Every structure is written in structure tokens, then in C-alpha cells.
Amino acid sequence: MNVLFVCHRLPYPPNRGGKIRPFNMIRHLSQKHSVVVASLAHTEQELREGESLKDYCEDVIAEVLPSRVRWLQALKALPTRTPSSVAYFRSPQLHERIRQAALERKFDVTLVHCAFVAQYVTHIQSGFRIMDFGDLDSAKWAEYSPWKGFPLSWMYSFESTKLRAYEQKIARLFDRCTVTTEGERDEFENLQVGTPPTVIPNGVDVSYFSPTEISASADPSIVFLGRMDYFPNIDGVCYFAENILPLIRKKLPKVEFRVVGSNPTRKIRKLEQTPGIVVTGHVPDVRRYLQGGAVAVAPLRIARGTQNKILEAMAMGIPVIATPNAAKGIQAVAGRDLLVAETPHAFAEHVIRLLQNADVRRTLSETARKQVEKGHMWPASMKILDSTLRFSDKILHRRPLTTLADEDLQLH
């Protein structure tokens, strides 16, 4: 089949959450189908870095959309019915190139990853259409609102309302919609659109993220892994540094907290002034830092979907302590595969226990790895995608193509 795959971030290299899932889908689909990928880059450098994606698909249609243009479009959308997060990803050049490709290639399947870029296919007719929401972003913006001061709190709330209406309209245009977790499926059901949802869990490359020997550590360490320009990560790291780490250092004064991730903000960089905190910024290979960490933490107070940082640590056999919000998207049993704590004192007690007991760390390491292999393997998730695609063969009397008027979606 000829497949058009549209995603909001150029998914190569697959080095962040928004790129890992679409990359694995593209790589899998290309084994049996002809896949054309359409996406956006922020810079010419990102576009060049993404050129190797052509090794995994038939063709790549990509345009550079600079950040300043994105933010200007998002700001202009604030007083309109268009979600600013949709306007942020609008490129007339990419829209035209996709339209031309659809005329020339006659795609059998259109698969969109992330609702923000569904705007590019609302006028394209294909035999079967899949909307991979991943996470419901309208719910994410709603969660952000209470954590921000006015006027940002109002802006996030308003954006959530606009985006929820957009998601409802978009979902009705697709034959199948997919999400990452059971919790996101429940959220999708709240849209009340009638389009069947399917859960396709996120996976982890267990050959790349593989275990290392767990041993007693002369210099105990704690690792947080994630992009440090992402608000939930910033909030989580600061929460840990201010409320949990001091409790740990009372018992283990030499413990080191390593914050590993790209683009640390000024607020994160300032944490280095605190004894025992190391902020690495971008590193070429995060595995070295996970190997050196006795435990990994995911102290996120704001979290949706599946936290790849947890999957990667579990795959490497690194014991994980997480908040309930961070752990809820992982197919794992609390107390067996990872530890979950809601309060700073409970979180600190879990960390101290693991740092002081190599045998407990080793046991948790082994069960964590086994659970990842059971519940979060990409091949298993891709079988679900294949099953979803097989529905296309069963649609003998497809509903008439439904499109939304430009003024209805407020896209142009």
C-alpha cells in the first residue's frame, strides 16, 4: 500500500519523545509498504539531520518553519477559534507539497501522528485514515493551567477548550484513532465522537538500552533523564531538588543528583549552585549516565501518556522511583517493577533504601527489565498497528469523504 505519514516533528534522529514513536511506526510500515513522510523542521540544521530518515522510507517531504514564524502564528491565533498549538505548526508550503504528492501518488492510507498536523490532510481523500493522537493535548493544556500564574493560567485553559473542540472535529474525519495508554483511551472516549480508539503502547529499544551490572556504589547517585526545556520536567526536577533531595542528603550527604538532558533553562542551571547537583546539558549517549546512576527518578507532578525516561531506565535495569502521575502510563506493578511515592518523605525513603541496599536494587532491576520486555516492546506494539491497518481491507462501503470547511476549523 501507499502510505502518507504526517507528523509534527521531523522524526530523525529519534532522540526525544515526540520523535521516537513516529520513527518506529515509519520504520515498521516501510518493511511492507511504500511510505512517504511529511513533516516540519525548526531549522536548516534540523532538516539536514533528518535527511537519514530517507533510509527508512520511500520519500520525505519536509519544510523548515522557523520558531519566530511559529510563535507569531500562535500569537495571532490567540483571539480566534483556532488553537494556537495548531497555528504553531501551519506551513502553506508543506500544505501545498502534500496536496501535490496526494494527487500524484494516490495514497491508500493516511496516518497522522499528533492532532496539530491533521490540518494537512483534511482535504485529502485516501482509502483509510488513522489519527494517532498519542496523548490528548487538550487534557495536557488543562493540566498546565493550575500550575501557571495569570495570564498564562487563563491562556492554557482557553487553549485547552479550543483544542478539545478541534480534536472532536478532527477525530470524526478518521476511520480509526489511536492513543498510547488506557488512560488516554478514557480521555478520548470523553470526546464522544464515535470513532473507535485503539491503544498502541509506546515501546523501548531493549537492544540499545540493555542492563549493566548492579553493584554497591561507593559514590551513590540519582539520575533524572529528560529534555530540560519542557515544563513538566523543569517542575519535576525543581520539586525533587527543593523538597526531596535535602531529605536524602540528611542520611546520605555524599549523594549526587544528575540532571541529564538537552537545553536546560536558566532555572535548571541555577540548581548547580546547590551542593551535589550536576546539570549535564546535552550528552551524546545517555546510557553512560544511566549506567553510572544507582537509581533513576521521575518526580513529575504533571505527566500524561508514557514516560520514555522510565522505560529506558527500566530497560537498562536501573531501579526507578516515580510519582503516581509519572508511573500511570507504564505497564508495570508498583512495588515489583518500580517504586511509586506521592509525598516527598515517601519518595526520599524509597531512594535511601535503594541506595543503601544493592540486593534490593538488583531484584528491582531484574523485574523491571522483564516487565519492559513483556509490556513495552516495539514489535508487539507494531502488531497492533498492523491489525488496525487490516481494517482498511474490510471497509467495502466506506462512508463518503467528509471534510471540514476552512472557516469551521479556522486553519487558514
Does pLDDT of 396 surpass 50? no
Does pLDDT of 409 surpass 60? no
Mean pLDDT of the chain: 91
Average pLDDT on 38-53 reads 97
> In this structure, what CATH number is given to the domain that contains residue 37?
3.40.50.2000
**176 pairs with which residues across the strands?**
130
Percentage of residues in the chain with pLDDT exceeding 70? 92
Does any domain span residue 392?
Answer: yes
3-state secondary structure of 130: strand
Measure the CA dihedral 282/288/291/297, to 10°. Answer: 0
Does pLDDT of 213 surpass 90? no
Instruction: Return the minimum-mean-pLDDT range out of 52-61, 116-125, 184-193, 396-405.
Output: 396-405
pLDDT at 293: 75
For the four alpha carbons of 244, 247, 248 and 249, in that order, the dihedral sign comes to positive
pLDDT at 102: 94
Q: Are residues 117 and 75 in the same domain?
A: yes
pLDDT at 92: 97
Q: Are residues 328 and 244 in the same domain?
A: yes
Q: Are residues 383 and 371 in the same domain?
A: no
**H or E stretch including 182?**
helix 182-189
pLDDT at 390: 83
Does any domain span residue 245?
Answer: yes
Extract the C-alpha cell encoding 346: 515517601
Does any domain span residue 341?
Answer: yes
pLDDT at 106: 87
Q: Are residues 174 and 231 in the same domain?
A: no
Model confidence band, residue 82 (pLDDT cutoffs 50, 70, 90) = very high
Q: Are residues 54 and 153 in the same domain?
A: yes
Q: Are residues 65 and 12 in the same domain?
A: yes
pLDDT at 395: 54
Q: Are residues 109 and 186 in the same domain?
A: yes
Average pLDDT on 345-358 reads 95
pLDDT at 220: 78
pLDDT at 356: 92
Q: Are residues 278 and 337 in the same domain?
A: yes
Answer with the residue of higher pLDDT: 9 or 393. 9
Does pLDDT of 404 surpass 50? no
Burial 243-255 (b: 16+ CB within 10 A, else e): ebbeebbeebeeb
Work out the widest C-alpha separation in the chain, in whole angstroms.
68
The string of pLDDT tens digits covering residues 352-361 is: 999 999 899 9
Average pLDDT on 64-82 reads 97
For the four alpha carbons of 26, 28, 29 and 30, in that order, the dihedral sign comes to positive
The string of pLDDT tens digits covering residues 89-129 is: 999 999 999 999 999 998 999 999 999 999 999 888 777 99
Q: Are residues 16 and 52 in the same domain?
A: yes
In terms of Cα–Cα distance, which of 297, 287, 280 is closest to 237? 297
User: Which stretches does DSSP call E strand in 34-127?
Assistant: 34-41, 59-64, 109-113
Percentage of residues in the chain with pLDDT exceeding 90? 79
3-state secondary structure of 60: strand
The string of pLDDT tens digits covering residues 222-266 is: 999 999 999 999 999 999 999 999 999 999 999 999 999 999 999
Does any domain span residue 296?
Answer: yes
Model confidence band, residue 392 (pLDDT cutoffs 50, 70, 90) = low
Does any domain span residue 210?
Answer: no
Does any domain span residue 255?
Answer: yes
The string of pLDDT tens digits covering residues 134-155 is: 999 999 989 989 888 888 899 9
Q: How many domains does the chain have?
A: 2
Kindly write down the DSSP assignment for every residue of 334-403, as one continuous string.
BTTTBEE-SSHHHHHHHHHHHHH-HHHHHHHHHHHHHHHHHH-BHHHHHHHHHHHHHHHHH-SSPPPP--
Q: Are residues 47 and 117 in the same domain?
A: yes
pLDDT at 391: 72
Extract the C-alpha cell encoding 387: 491489525
User: Which stretches does DSSP call E strand in 104-144?
Assistant: 109-113, 128-134
Q: Are residues 144 and 260 in the same domain?
A: no
pLDDT at 304: 85
Domain that holds residue 157: 2-203+377-409
The string of pLDDT tens digits covering residues 313-322 is: 999 999 999 9
Does any domain span residue 213?
Answer: no
Does pLDDT of 369 surpass 70? yes
Average pLDDT on 378-406 reads 69
Does any domain span residue 388?
Answer: yes
pLDDT at 211: 84
pLDDT at 399: 44
Does pLDDT of 272 surpass 60? yes
Q: Are residues 97 and 226 in the same domain?
A: no
